[in-house]
Amino acid sequence: MTFSFGNRKQRDILLQAVFLAVILTMLLIAVMTTRRNLEIQGLSVGWSFLNYATGSSIVFSLIDYDLDSSFARALLVGFINTLFLGTISVSLAVLLGTVIGTARLSSHKLVKSIAGVYVQIFRNIPLILQAFFWYAIFVNFPSPRQAIAVQGGFFISNRGIFFPMFNIEAWYLLAAIALFIIGSVISVTVARRTGRGSSLVGILISLALACIIGYAGRLADTPLFDMPQPKGLRFLGGGTMTPELGSAIVAIALFGASYVAEIVRAGFLSIPAGLIEAAHALGLGNWHIFWRIRLPLMIRRILPTMTNQIIWLMKATTIGIAIGFPDYFGVVANSINHSGQTISLIFLLIIGFWAINMTISFTMNAINRALALPGHKK
Amino acid sequence: MTATTEIQAPALNDSLLDSVRRDYFSSVGRTILTLVCLALILSALWFLVNWGLVNAVWFGTPEDCHKAAGACWAVITDRYRLIFFGLYPYEEQWRSALACLAILATVILSCVPFFWSAKRLPVLWALGYGLFYFLMKGGVFGMPVVLETQWGGLALTVFVFSSTVVIGMPLAIVLALLRRSRLPVVSTVTALFIDGIRSLPLLSILFTAAIILPLTLPGFLVGDKLYRVIIGAAVFFAVYQAEIIRSGIQSLPAGQEEAATALGLNYWQTISRIVLPQAFRFALPPTINQVVIAFMETALIVILGFFEITASGNAAFSTGGWKPFHTEVYSFVALIYFVFTYSLSMYGSYLERSMKLGLR
């Protein structure tokens, strides 16, 4: 068989082979160069460094960590921090964004314009500048000695915001909260689907179970519930939100909310007017039309866009590094400085974010499928 | 039979007073809402006017500002050159200002439909970008050479932004076409590349470009850190923009491409004369949105140690006793970003509206 360039099939195979060869050559050159450069620096690519002690501290950690902890432990701390910051700030952004997006379509002109101004301001200023701004506000609060005391045991100072907190190990507390939320969602769904039984019973059972888990995880020799007490330059007891964490949450939540608001608004606008008119014709009041018709339809319509937005906001948590919050990216960057294991660490960085993205899109797709109305294919 | 109530037809000419009553005070809930909103708006305005105008200090020293209750705009009037131009040589800063104006003019002219053709737009950008580069770098017409390491402030932000768009846009077209390729190997590899980059945070791409690339590239390709970061930003812009162009192409009726083939046009003619011009029309509003995002994301390079406008803003208040007046500096920098991004996004939504009219 002879090759002819005029034969489309053979030409396609040749073109693809050339394309693949070029890509592979480039990759090969990169790998070889890297290996040689690392040899010059006296480093070998591998994973053994993960067991070495980092010798550096991390300012915010939800799990035990000290100078002797390994790189693997440090990376875990960073990963948990990213999940922690991301979950809190993205949830706040979605909640606030939904309210503002709804307000943008209000028939009340003042509400509408306030929401509009909010969206325009927070959308059009870079996130990192907003993070700097909030960080400057947080670190310029009065010192702990002159901390602003707020009713209910809250103290605001430049060392962070101190609040009353259960003395429960973090994992138990998280498990208890997760159990309560999942239990409530399941009982509400079951009660709705079957039309029998009250969801209240299920919610109460999950609350009781959550309390038992929380009680089991309480820290020894401390009261179960603790108020922060001022003591010199520190506060004893209670929980702390550091300025880094606080300003990162505020910045991402407010910035994200302006984007979520636009998605929510577009979702409401995409509902066919006929559906709303039909609801009016059936005699439903405005309140019912909102809760029973517009909101459920809007949520179903925006889910795919919202998935992308949530993934984008999770990635935006990396700006934490600018204000000193040690998220996963920050810890990876720091570990590269300390160990020189560039290639392995970048690989772990990619895997970490890939895992987060996959989890989000998997969950959102599952929600999308569960909520889809039969016969309503888009 | 149920009793029926008669519904009155709405009055034809309701007075201003009536419509205000209907819109704002028709029920108890609405009245409360109106009052809360009014209180919010008035107190915000009251604060802004008092803090930002009435009690503000416009010129002077940090001591003057400490005495006053309002904003300290003196930090801006004292340090505006640092914020705008960074460490660019003082006598040459007019070049930096002119260069920024050149890019601004290019962006504004790009919004004029006259330039929307495959020939005019690249020429316009080549001219604007070239003008910027020669003004900043110097070395011609008796202007002393100023190296990239001395560029800073707004000019550096503008440089990174315009380079990102100039490199990223053609790259995006190539990626979009490769992903749509008939050849399975080519489209799969491109799809993997696009989705892989999209799943990463921009910061990690920039970080890789700045720190990792010198390790993996042969020596002659390494280049300056600034240019590596620009390439990183351009690739990130390109993968997002490629998806926008691809969805623009997909929203074309298949008949367009088939008709072109039937008329005997080859691949390049079909793409450049039939497909891309129409695809860009559909893709224009999201493209503007993406350009706005690219502009805001240039601020991230501050983390890699570049002296762009956010960093020069930080520098403006961190010395000389201006430390307490960070809010004023951040507000000023935010205003610069806001003016640009807000007007571009307003233009984007105007385009979207006018295009909907055409398609209806």
- Tens of pLDDT along B285-334? 888 889 999 999 888 888 888 888 888 888 888 877 777 788 888 999 99
ipTM of the complex: 0.85
CB contacts of A328 in chain B (<8 Å) are none
Query: Does B202 touch chain A if contact means CB atoms closer than 8 Å?
Result: yes
Interface of B with A in 302-341 (CB under 8 A): 302-303, 310, 314, 324, 326-327, 330, 333-334, 337-338, 341
* Residue A95 contacts residue A101 (beta carbons within 8 Å): no
User: Token pair for residue A192?
Assistant: 């709705």
| Interface probe, candidates B38, B200, B310, B339, chain A, greatest A C-beta count within 10 A | B200
Residue A95 has pLDDT above 90, yes or no: yes
Report the gap between the CA of B199 and the closest CA in chain A (Å).
6
Confidence at residue A282, expressed as pLDDT on a 0 to 100 scale:
92
Q: Which residue has the higher pLDDT, B117 or B185?
A: B185
Asked if B207 lies within 8 A of A30 by C-beta distance, the reply is: no
Asked if B185 lies within 8 A of A16 by C-beta distance, the reply is: yes
Task: For A228-267, give one letter per residue: b (16+ CB within 10 A) or e.
Answer: bebeeeebebbebbbbbbbbbbbbbbbbbbbbbbbbbbeb
Confidence at residue A3, expressed as pLDDT on a 0 to 100 scale:
64
pLDDT digits (tens, 9 = 90+) for A248-267: 999 999 999 999 999 999 99
Confidence at residue A164, expressed as pLDDT on a 0 to 100 scale:
77
| Interface probe, candidates A129, A339, A348, chain B, greatest B C-beta count within 10 A | A129
Q: Which residue has the higher pLDDT, A27 or B136?
A: A27
pLDDT digits (tens, 9 = 90+) for B112-131: 888 877 788 888 888 888 88
The Cα A94–Cα A367 span in angstroms is 15
Interface of B with A in 76-115 (CB under 8 A): none
Confidence at residue A2, expressed as pLDDT on a 0 to 100 scale:
63
* B39 dihedral zone (left: phi>0; alpha: psi -120 to 50; beta): alpha
* Neighbouring C-beta atoms of residue A128, cutoff 10 Å: 25
Q: What share of chain B has pLDDT > 90, as a percent?
A: 14
Nearest CA in chain B to A344: B212
Nearest CA in chain A to B218: A33
pLDDT digits (tens, 9 = 90+) for A137-165: 888 887 777 777 777 777 887 777 887 77
* Residue B337 contacts residue A126 (beta carbons within 8 Å): yes
pLDDT digits (tens, 9 = 90+) for B16-36: 788 788 777 878 888 888 899
Confidence at residue B13, expressed as pLDDT on a 0 to 100 scale:
65
Which long-range CB contacts under 8 A does A367-374 form with residues at least 24 apart?
A367/A303, A368/A300, A368/A303, A368/A304, A368/A307, A371/A299, A371/A300, A371/A303, A372/A300, A373/A300
What is A172-215 written as a DSSP string?
A: HHHHHHHHHHHHHHHHHHHHHHH--S-HHHHHHHHHHHHHHHHH
Average pLDDT, chain A: 84
Confidence at residue B358, expressed as pLDDT on a 0 to 100 scale:
56
pLDDT digits (tens, 9 = 90+) for A158-211: 777 887 777 777 777 888 888 888 888 888 878 777 776 677 888 888 888 888
- Mean pLDDT value of segment B142-146: 75
Nearest CA in chain B to A19: B186
pLDDT digits (tens, 9 = 90+) for B245-268: 988 888 888 888 889 889 988 888
A315 alpha-carbon distance from chain centroid: 8
Which long-range CB contacts under 8 A does B269-272 form with residues at least 24 apart?
B271/B177, B272/B118
Confidence at residue A50, expressed as pLDDT on a 0 to 100 scale:
77
pLDDT digits (tens, 9 = 90+) for A102-114: 999 888 888 999 9
Nearest in space to B327 (alpha carbons), one of A139, A322, A156, A96: A139
Residue A322 has pLDDT above 90, yes or no: no
* Neighbouring C-beta atoms of residue B239, cutoff 10 Å: 23
Confidence at residue A378, expressed as pLDDT on a 0 to 100 scale:
46
Confidence at residue A99, expressed as pLDDT on a 0 to 100 scale:
94
Asked if A37 lies within 8 A of B342 by C-beta distance, the reply is: no
pLDDT digits (tens, 9 = 90+) for A47-73: 777 777 777 777 777 777 777 778 888
CB contacts of A346 in chain B (<8 Å) are 204, 208, 212
The Cα B111–Cα B285 span in angstroms is 12
pLDDT category at B207 given cuts 50, 70, 90 is: confident
* Residue A202 contacts residue A191 (beta carbons within 8 Å): yes
CB contacts of B341 in chain A (<8 Å) are 123-125
**How many distinct helices (H) and strands (E) make up chain A?**
12, 8
Average pLDDT, chain B: 84
- Give the E-state strand segments of A212-301 in sequence order: 225-226, 229-231, 234-236, 239-241
Confidence at residue A24, expressed as pLDDT on a 0 to 100 scale:
92
